[in-house]
Chains A and B, each alone.
Chain A
Amino acid sequence: MAKTEPMKIGKLLLKGGRILDPSSRIDTVTDILLDKGKIQKIGSVDAKSFSGKVIDCKNKFIVPGLIDMHVHLREPGREDTETIDSGCQAAMAGGFTAVCCMPNTEPPIDCRGQVEFIKERAEGLIVDVHPIAAVTVGRKGEQLTEMGELVEAGSVGFSDDGTHIKQSGILRRALEYAKMFGRPIIDHCEDPSLSEGGVMNEGFTSTVLGLPGIPSISEEIDIARDLLMAQFTGGSVHIAHVSTKRSVQLIREAKSRGVSVTAETCPHYLLLTDEAVRTFDTNTKMKPPLRDKSDQDALIEGIKDGTVDVIASDHAPHAVEEKDTEYDAAAFGIIGLETIAGLMLSHFVNKGILTIEQLIETMTVNPRKILGLPSCAIKEGENANLTFIDLDSEWKVDKNHFLSKSRNTPFDGWELKGKAIGIVNKSQLYISE
């Protein structure tokens, strides 16, 4: 049985792990000595003369703490599906030392009090919670939030995630204004006049199933606008959950022109296609929808060449009754905090498609850079913020053992090889086995 509680640590010796940190250019097998939450020494330590707790890290990677920059913690408003506490438990079990929570709560995170509420709820937890605040008041797309105050309170970016920013004029002002604080606008790109009523990717499978389609153009046309606007304003835009081939092309081309754009995708777009909808399993329903094989290939190519900077889960908890229903009526979204690292390690790193360095870039180095967060470098004197990875661990996804309050995953029962088995953060340790 997995341990579900982190433990306070004093002196801790991590013995014989492979320490890998692309940002500090470290890749070496040695020991790490931790004390008072800091990395005291990197290098050989004699365990016999050491009095604190020792963890044998042989054949395990020790990497900078992973961060998931796109999660929905549902608190306040839908505490029946997730809370800040349960979401952080899920993040911990999934190998993350930090998450960024999206502001589409009820009420939305659009003022200082809301940001402070989240920070307060997360205080003392082993996982850091970085709130992303709304771009507009009430996420209504009309009036900018008080971004200066929100940044001061601790918000690391701005997004009206769940809906796109309808008015190009508002997007322009948001990009210009957020630039003053060095924060990105994170946009959920979807033109609703093209996607309305749709429940899955529009293509051959939707044609056969008779389900209303969401065409790829509904995403791409909005991305194209955002890229032009980022170039025009000089602001930074981060494109959330990129799902199509042409989106990748558009972003690649904009990056080559020097536009300040970054992009993220999610494991489900890399591992599933719209063919999965054939079962009418509502855990295949999310926005943007699962696309086709050529989109999948383009996304993987985009990760490899750096067009796609970040892999995030878009962890979106829903109650059983919101998913256990007719396909049209089901809520959009799936959870992912407890499967993302395992899926990526198993299907990409262990298969030689991505290197473990590329995974660390996309799951900690890049997102921290985008959000202006400290890099979590593995260096003597720095705070110990670490994730342990075991590439050989074989395990089976079992949704009934999730620490998340929700169960809406399409990956239940998948056999995986590779797991993020533990974390160290804020003088606390969690090891899953």
Chain B
Amino acid sequence: MQLKSHHLLGLEGVSRDEITLILDTAFTLREILDRPIPKVPTLRGKTVANLFYEPSTRTRFSFELAEKRLSADSINFSSATSSTKKGETLKDTLRNIEAMRIDFVVIRHASAGTPHFLAQYLDSSIINAGDGAHEHPTQGLLDMMTLREKFGKLEGLNVVIVGDIEHSRVARSNIHGLLAMGARVGICGPATLIPREIEKMGVTVYPHIEDAVAEADVLNVLRIQLERQKSGLFPSLREYRALFGITRERLDRRGRDITIMHPGPMNRGIEIDSEVADGDYSVILHQVTNGVAVRMAVLYLLAGGKSKLEGEDNG
């Protein structure tokens, strides 16, 4: 089996079989990370351009490591400014980079749909590393991998995503992926950060954190961006913590096990308490390890599709 598309632009529309293929592949490849020499020649000769138009440490390192473990060559570009400012257009930049002969583009950009826009012009495989508030498919995949590792399967799990849903690409990719895999998805957060008509995506909205904590098997806790307070979407971080913060007391009141995830970086003491982040409930560092494995799997599978095509051309 192969992936249908030679890009990974999002998890919307990606089938259960394809997600299973990626996760199975990721579990196989993860073993490489524990070898004394954690490197295989699989992608030797392939070149990846990592383009981060938004600040990122974790995702950028994770992609770069995944590329190195598979022996791909990578070139990196980071900039906090987008092409919306004066200067060369994004399309021109990308076409120039592609003219240097590359195979993959990993792109993070503040505008939703940017990878889709570029996909019209580029022959390279494009991997979306986060586009605005739209999707972050590899994060969705690594979250699902972590849950499959912990629970054995995703079907029937009740996962509640907590926080700023409106501005979260992590939330959207998780919703698409988890629903495709047969899990239940809830969302919980201030009413000002719950986008309109989100129930139509097939999720349950929990207005109160207590109900979410009581019913969920898993809480995926999102980072709250400080600038949202400034734009008047909630009154203060203090009140945010009081109403939606994941604290030890809230979890203890539940009286049975729960799993806590966070895509990072965390605001300790605001959306999540240190005791919770570092406690037995947390699988946060597993997520980070699995992130490398999932990105290796995606690169491997997308390259596989391409090698086969090249083979056919030669024949």
A and B: bona fide binding partners = yes
Enumerate chain A interface residues (CB-CB to B < 8 A): 202-204, 206-213, 279-280, 321, 324-329
B84 surroundings in chain A (CB, below 8 A) = 325-326, 328-329
Other A-B pairs beyond A210-B169, A211-B112, A280-B117, 6, CB < 8 Å? A207-B196, A207-B201, A280-B113, A325-B84, A328-B110, A329-B84
- Which listed residue, A202, A203, A213, A327, touches B111 by the CB 8 Å rule? A327
- Cα distance A326–B196 when bound, in Å? 23
**Chain B positions 66 through 86: 1 when the CB is less than 8 Å from some CB of chain A, otherwise 0:** 000000000000000011100
B243 at interface, CB cutoff 8 A = no
- Cα distance A204–B203 when bound, in Å? 13
A202 surroundings in chain B (CB, below 8 A) = 196
Give the interface centre of A202, A204, A210, A324 by most chain B CB atoms within 10 Å.
Answer: A210
- Cα distance A280–B135 when bound, in Å? 14
- Cα distance A329–B88 when bound, in Å? 13
Contact B134 A210 (CB under 8 A): yes
B116 at interface, CB cutoff 8 A = yes
A321 surroundings in chain B (CB, below 8 A) = 89
A203 surroundings in chain B (CB, below 8 A) = 196-197
Contact A326 B109 (CB under 8 A): yes
Number of A-B contacts (CB under 8 A): 75
Contact B82 A211 (CB under 8 A): no
Contact B201 A328 (CB under 8 A): no
Q: Which 6 A-B pairs have the closest CB atoms?
A: A210-B133, A280-B113, A210-B134, A328-B111, A326-B111, A204-B197
- Count of chain B residues near A, Cβ 8 A: 29
Shortest distance from the beta carbon of B108 to any chain A beta carbon, whole Å: 13
B12 surroundings in chain A (CB, below 8 A) = 208
B305 at interface, CB cutoff 8 A = no
Subset of 5 A-B contacts with CB under 8 Å: A207-B198, A209-B134, A211-B132, A326-B84, A326-B114
- Which listed residue, A210, A279, A325, touches B135 by the CB 8 Å rule? A210
Give the interface centre of B131, B169, B195 by most chain A CB atoms within 10 Å.
Answer: B195
Shortest distance from the beta carbon of B225 to any chain A beta carbon, whole Å: 14
Give the interface centre of B113, B116, B198 by most chain A CB atoms within 10 Å.
Answer: B113
Contact B201 A326 (CB under 8 A): no
- Which listed residue, A208, A213, A325, touches B117 by the CB 8 Å rule? A325
- Cα distance A191–B82 when bound, in Å? 27
B223 at interface, CB cutoff 8 A = no
- Cα distance A204–B196 when bound, in Å? 6
B200 at interface, CB cutoff 8 A = yes
- Cα distance A378–B306 when bound, in Å? 66
- Cα distance A321–B84 when bound, in Å? 11
B172 at interface, CB cutoff 8 A = yes
B214 at interface, CB cutoff 8 A = no
A321 closest partner in B (C-beta): B89
Contact A327 B89 (CB under 8 A): no
Contact A329 B82 (CB under 8 A): yes
Interface set, chain B 121-175, CB cutoff 8 A to A: 131-135, 167, 169, 172
